[in-house]
Amino acid sequence: MFDSLFNSHWFDNQMFTSQFWEWFIIIPTLGGIAGCLFLIIWMSGNRPKSNEKIETMGHVWDENLEELNNPLPMWWLQMFHITLIFGIFYLIVYPGLGSYKGLWESTEVKTYEQEMKAAKTKYDPIYEKYQETAIEELAKDKTAVEIGQRLFATYCTVCHGSDARGVKGFPNLTDDDWLWGNDSKAIETSIMKGRQGAMPNLNLSEDEINTLAPYVLSLSGSASPSAEVITKGKELFTTKTCVACHGPEGKGTQAMGAPNLTDKTWLYGGTEADIKLTLAKGRQGKMPAHGDFLGKAKVHLLATYIYSLSVNK
């Protein structure tokens, strides 16, 4: 247990800020081993000789069935000794005593780095051979698409789902509605650098929200408010700077990631209550950057798979 807790640089650098915490680990660990050794020696110190009669525990069943005080078999006892010796050897070789790193200086971070280095050596050439081929061409390559699909399953399904259809707040990647554009370059940029979308809180009054929400829904034909509501809603849409992002017709601006309000695709829900909540509190959406983490070759294949979802459907 202690080994797993203190097998990283974080604990080396952050936790042992004083000698107290280091000895707080060392003393119970070594004391536990010494205590177990003493207990074994004490419990096995009075082993009877081979010709000596074994005492009974005083319990008798069925007239003559007695419980004898037999000692543990030697092979069993030796297993305890071997376990304690192994524990001492382990603590000498590996970290487990405070900030002591062990003779081999083996840490979780070091092991991770070694495994990642071995994986890069083995797998990077597989990804890199596709890097110079355009995504539009790779989308026709079944093997490349399958590799991208496996990368998607590993890194993207948490937000977009295993079928890439997304959930509320996370976009569907299989339709034709794209906030930042669905050409290969835009998709690759989204993965490499990430995206930050924001619908600000416009500080609208309750009456303004109740007027603007049905107007927004009417742009896609999802609601049929009265002519008066449409007139007031259109005025609010213009004066409250909605047009700055969504355009005068509400068709959105891909360069800003502003959604098209005239279709029936809604990232955060398309009910009047959902629209009102968006207008009242705003929205904050973020696609994290994966470029530094995955590297260009993997991103290229990942973008190929996502591009293929809409092209090859």
> Which residues, at least 6 apart from 183, have a Cβ–Cβ distance to it below 8 Å?
none
Is 270 a member of any domain?
A: yes
Do 215 and 282 fall into the same domain? yes
Mean pLDDT computed over 11-38: 81
* HSE toward the beta carbon, residue 282, CA cutoff 13 A: 11
**Residues 235-247: tens digit of each pLDDT:** 999 999 899 999 9
Do 279 and 159 fall into the same domain? no
Do 77 and 101 fall into the same domain? yes
* pLDDT value at residue 11: 45
Do 292 and 190 fall into the same domain? yes
Rg (CA), the chain: 34
CA distance 141 to 201: 45
Mean pLDDT computed over 34-61: 81
* Cα diameter, the chain: 110
Q: Is the pLDDT of residue 162 over 90?
A: yes
- Containing H/E element for 57? strand 56-61
Do 81 and 15 fall into the same domain? yes
* HSE toward the beta carbon, residue 291, CA cutoff 13 A: 10
Q: Is the pLDDT higher at 216 or at 14? A: 216
Do 261 and 168 fall into the same domain? no
CA distance 167 to 265: 12
Is 271 a member of any domain?
A: yes
Q: Is the pLDDT of residue 71 over 50?
A: yes
Tell me how far the alpha carbon of residue 313 is from its chain's centroid: 29
Q: Is the pLDDT higher at 312 or at 51? A: 51
Q: Is the pLDDT higher at 108 or at 147? A: 147
Give 187's DSSP letter: H
Q: What is the pTM of this model?
A: 0.69
Do 298 and 155 fall into the same domain? yes
Tell me how far the alpha carbon of residue 275 is from its chain's centroid: 30
Mean pLDDT computed over 155-169: 94
* pLDDT value at residue 68: 81
Which CATH number does the domain housing residue 247 bear? 1.10.760.10
* pLDDT value at residue 5: 41
Which of 76, 105, 134 is where one domain is finished?
105
Which of 54, 71, 105 is where one domain is finished?
105
**Count of CB atoms situated within 10 Å of the CB of 42:** 9
Is 115 a member of any domain?
A: no
Burial class (CB in 10 A: 0-12, 13-18, 19+), 286: exposed
Q: What is the mean pLDDT of the chain?
A: 89
* pLDDT value at residue 4: 42
Is 113 a member of any domain?
A: no
Is 74 a member of any domain?
A: yes
Is 311 in a helix, a strand, or coil? helix
Do 241 and 132 fall into the same domain? no
Do 42 and 57 fall into the same domain? yes
Give 168's DSSP letter: T
* HSE toward the beta carbon, residue 290, CA cutoff 13 A: 21
Mean pLDDT computed over 3-24: 60
* pLDDT value at residue 104: 84
Do 48 and 166 fall into the same domain? no
Mean pLDDT computed over 261-277: 94
Do 190 and 293 fall into the same domain? yes
Token duo for residue 123: 């797998």
CA distance 152 to 165: 12
Pairing of strands 65-68, 195-199: unpaired
Q: Which residue has the tokens 């936790």?
A: 15
Q: Is the pLDDT of residue 313 over 70?
A: no
Which of 55, 77, 105 is where one domain is finished?
105
* pLDDT value at residue 312: 61
Token duo for residue 186: 């835009």
* pLDDT value at residue 228: 95
b/e per residue 23-36 (b: at least 16 CB within 10 A): eebbeebeeebeee
Token duo for residue 114: 């070694």
* pLDDT value at residue 54: 77
Do 6 and 88 fall into the same domain? yes
Look up the domain containing 271 and give its range. Answer: 197-287
pLDDT confidence of 101, banded at 50, 70, 90?
confident
Is 111 a member of any domain?
A: no
Q: Are 79 and 86 in contact (CB under 8 A)?
A: no
How many structural domains does the chain have? 3
Token duo for residue 272: 């009047």
CA distance 209 to 248: 18
* pLDDT value at residue 287: 94
Q: Is the pLDDT higher at 74 or at 168? A: 168
**Residues 220-235: tens digit of each pLDDT:** 999 999 999 999 999 9
* pLDDT value at residue 12: 46
Q: Is the pLDDT of residue 127 over 90?
A: yes
Mean pLDDT computed over 285-306: 95
Is 116 a member of any domain?
A: no
